[in-house]
Amino acid sequence: MRIKIQFILPILLIAGQLSAQKKDENIGTEVVNVVKPYTPTISDAFKVKENPPLEDEDNTKKETINYSIFSFPVASTFVPSKGKAANVDKEQKQRLYSNYVTGGVGSFLNLLGELYVTQEISDTDYAAGMFKHFSSLSDIKESKLDSKFSNTALDLTYGSRKSKYSWNADLGYQLQRQYWYGLPDEFGQALTPTEINQAISHIDQLQTYHNFSLGGKIKFKESIFNGMNLNYNRFWDAYKSAENRLILQPTLNFDMLNKHVTTEFTVDHLSGSFDKEYSGAAGYQYSFTNLGVYPSFGMKKDDWSFSIGAALVYGIDSEHSNSELFFYPRANATLKIVDQYMMFYTGIDGGLEQNSYRSLTNENLYVSPTLTIAPTDRQYEVYAGLKGKLASNISYNVKGALLNEKNKPLFVANDFHDIPVNKEMYQYGNSFGITYDLVRTLRLFGELRADFTKNISAGVSGTFNQYTMDYEAEPWNLPQIELAANLDVNITPKWYAGAKVFFVGDRKDRQANLDIISLVPIDYTKTVKAYFDANAHVGYKYSDRLTGFLRLNNIGNQAYEKWLNYPVQSFQILLGVNYKFDF
């Protein structure tokens, strides 16, 4: 059979080719009539059921299947290879040094010096010290008198950190030197040129402030007695004025009615004396003691959190044999409206604030050593606001407040006589006194801060005040508008820069030359003009230890007056270095 098939197949193939070659290669032509063009259609859609019925009879009955596992140990020599973590690029951790020294010199012969050192004595004890100095050895061009100044401070600390408590003791001294160089424009109108020169030569004497401080604190980690702060200050000047202040502040923490209660106690004693009054009469003494207790407790419910407390203060005026009991409500609350993006807060606060000669000179160096010292009854401060984030890197805070302050101190320029007869250096219209009044303040505050990247951050803030007084015609030396902005940039790992600008609106003051008072209007209110100040700095990190910097202050070159008749230094340049080290 195999032989026959192999023989027949070639014959059939040859015959097929011969027959095909004989066919007519002309296939002819035909006409095709298209009756209707092709129009595709789409059939109606239908929804497939999620659970179609199963009609297979085998699926209608479930069989029970029992599984059993027969296990036995199998010896294996397989050892998996250990995984290896992928390499991650880490930023080099910046080394932190315990000590640094800073020095700088600039225009107006400004000198800057800072030194901070700390040393671990043992595993628990440490010691630290800080020295600061800033001075100017050149005069302001607009001033007829010496306008040099210096500020030097030294602070020493010794502390210990135990397992159950910690404590530290502080010792400090500060020396400030300045001139009363702010002569008014009306000075000398009743004098001859010779008398003016004699008066100016007589005024060029320094005022010197000294402050000695001794204090410490102790804090317990697990005790009802939470801790205590103790601070003593001795303050005196070159005109036989002296002041002592002792502040003792223990704190208790305990639970009552399932609430955690914190109670602070305060003993604030102030006593001092002035050698003279501004008129030249004999001086006087003052002595105040405030005894206060401040209980408070907090709680939280849903999106609300509360802190409720009070202040009870017993004030004693020993020189006038007066005493009074003051009560102030203290409470605050917060409500989360939109998680971290919007939070509403409100509260009320108050207290008896002790003014002192030192606190007033810290605010205005050019006061006369003839002040009237009294505490301020801050009757209440009611506030409310919103804070949160506009984005993950932009935060905001908007706040409105109403303050009522009884016996609020206001700085007012002292009136003066031209004739230099047995006069002190501060009696030429170049010093300030204090007047007290009941001041009501309506305040609006807004702040916006942004961290654009880890190398760029900026902020802007503004405060707007409206004042109402009972007796004074104006809120002396209190601005209605204060604006500020700042920018900090890390340009490269080595270079950094920053800028700060601020604006302070007009302020009112009053002053009269009593020798020519009949020649001028009775209203001798003066306007201290608004000012704008811009400052910038740039630095270069030569190494992790050594940094150089350049500071530019008052770039607008304005000899503006922060206080009446007291122009500040114009454009200033200061070049300095900072060096970090360890012992």
Is the model's pLDDT at 286 over the cut of 80?
yes
Mean pLDDT confidence for 226-233: 96
User: Whole-angstrom Cα distance, residue 117 to residue 413?
Assistant: 42
87 pLDDT band, cuts 50/70/90, is low
79 pLDDT band, cuts 50/70/90, is low
What are the b/e assignments for 331-350, b being 16+ CB within 10 Å?
A: ebebeeeeeeeebbbebebb
92 pLDDT band, cuts 50/70/90, is low
Give SS3 for 370.
coil
The answer to whether the CB of 143 falls within 8 A of the CB of 126 is: no
The answer to whether the CB of 329 falls within 8 A of the CB of 140 is: no
93 pLDDT band, cuts 50/70/90, is low
DSSP classification of residue 247: E
The answer to whether the CB of 553 falls within 8 A of the CB of 112 is: no
Is the model's pLDDT at 371 over the cut of 60?
yes
CA atoms within 13 A on the CB side of 346: 5
Tokens of 162: 């135990």
Is the model's pLDDT at 498 over the cut of 70?
yes
189 pLDDT band, cuts 50/70/90, is confident
Mean pLDDT confidence for 485-504: 97
User: Whole-angstrom Cα distance, residue 259 to residue 253?
Assistant: 11
Q: Rounded to whole angstroms, what are the CA distances from 441 to 411, 464, 503? A: 17, 10, 20
Q: Which tops the pLDDT comparison, 250 or 512?
A: 250
User: Whole-angstrom Cα distance, residue 97 to residue 579?
Assistant: 10
Q: Which tops the pLDDT comparison, 85 or 223?
A: 223
For 546, other C-beta atoms within 10 Å of its C-beta total 13
Evaluated on CA atoms 161, 164, 169, 170, the torsion sign reads positive
17 pLDDT band, cuts 50/70/90, is very low
Those residues with Cβ within 8 angstroms of residue 73's Cβ, 6 or more apart along the chain or in another chain? none
User: Whole-angstrom Cα distance, residue 85 to residue 515?
Assistant: 88
Segment (H or E) for 220: strand 206-220
Is the model's pLDDT at 379 over the cut of 70?
yes
Q: Rounded to whole angstroms, what are the CA distances from 193 to 197, 386, 391, 484? A: 6, 61, 65, 44
What residues form DSSP beta bridges with 228?
218, 250
Q: Which residue has the tokens 């807004």?
A: 446
Evaluated on CA atoms 366, 369, 370, 373, the torsion sign reads positive
Tokens of 170: 């502080």
The answer to whether the CB of 186 falls within 8 A of the CB of 513 is: yes
Q: Rounded to whole angstroms, what are the CA distances from 129 to 103, 134, 174, 217, 234? A: 17, 17, 14, 17, 20
The answer to whether the CB of 135 falls within 8 A of the CB of 110 is: yes
233 pLDDT band, cuts 50/70/90, is very high
Mean pLDDT confidence for 569-580: 96
Give SS3 for 189.
coil
Q: What is the pLDDT of residue 45?
A: 42
Q: What is the pLDDT of residue 59?
A: 45
Mean pLDDT confidence for 482-497: 97
Mean pLDDT confidence for 7-23: 43
Q: What is the pLDDT of residue 116?
A: 97
Q: Which tops the pLDDT comparison, 501 or 224?
A: 501
The answer to whether the CB of 552 falls within 8 A of the CB of 537 is: yes
Those residues with Cβ within 8 angstroms of residue 366's Cβ, 6 or more apart along the chain or in another chain? 178, 180, 182, 430, 431, 432, 563, 566
Choose the weakest-confidence range: 69-73, 256-260, 328-332, 370-374. 69-73
The answer to whether the CB of 349 falls within 8 A of the CB of 381 is: yes
Nearest of 383, 506, 353 to residue 443 by alpha carbon: 383
407 pLDDT band, cuts 50/70/90, is very high
Q: What is the pLDDT of residue 42?
A: 45
pLDDT > 90 fraction of the chain, expressed in percent and rounded: 68
Q: What is the pLDDT of residue 34?
A: 47
Is the model's pLDDT at 57 over the cut of 50?
no
Is the model's pLDDT at 44 over the cut of 60?
no
221 pLDDT band, cuts 50/70/90, is confident
The answer to whether the CB of 437 falls within 8 A of the CB of 469 is: yes
Nearest of 581, 486, 493, 502 to residue 537 by alpha carbon: 486
Nearest of 448, 458, 467 to residue 488 by alpha carbon: 458
User: Whole-angstrom Cα distance, residue 116 to residue 99?
Assistant: 5
Average predicted confidence (pLDDT) for the chain: 86
User: Whole-angstrom Cα distance, residue 160 to residue 127?
Assistant: 9
Amino acid at 539: G
Tokens of 103: 């020095």
Is the model's pLDDT at 476 over the cut of 60?
yes
Mean pLDDT confidence for 194-203: 82
pLDDT digits (tens, 9 = 90+) for 454-474: 999 999 999 999 999 999 999
Nearest of 177, 131, 129 to residue 153 by alpha carbon: 131
Q: What is the pLDDT of residue 458?
A: 97
Nearest of 436, 287, 273, 288 to residue 369 by alpha carbon: 273
Is the model's pLDDT at 48 over the cut of 90?
no
Which stretches does DSSP call E strand in 456-541? Answer: 456-469, 481-490, 495-504, 507-510, 525-528, 531-541
Choose the weakest-confidence range: 55-69, 90-104, 127-141, 295-309. 55-69
Mean pLDDT confidence for 54-60: 45
Q: What is the pLDDT of residue 396?
A: 97
Q: Which tops the pLDDT comparison, 39 or 328?
A: 328
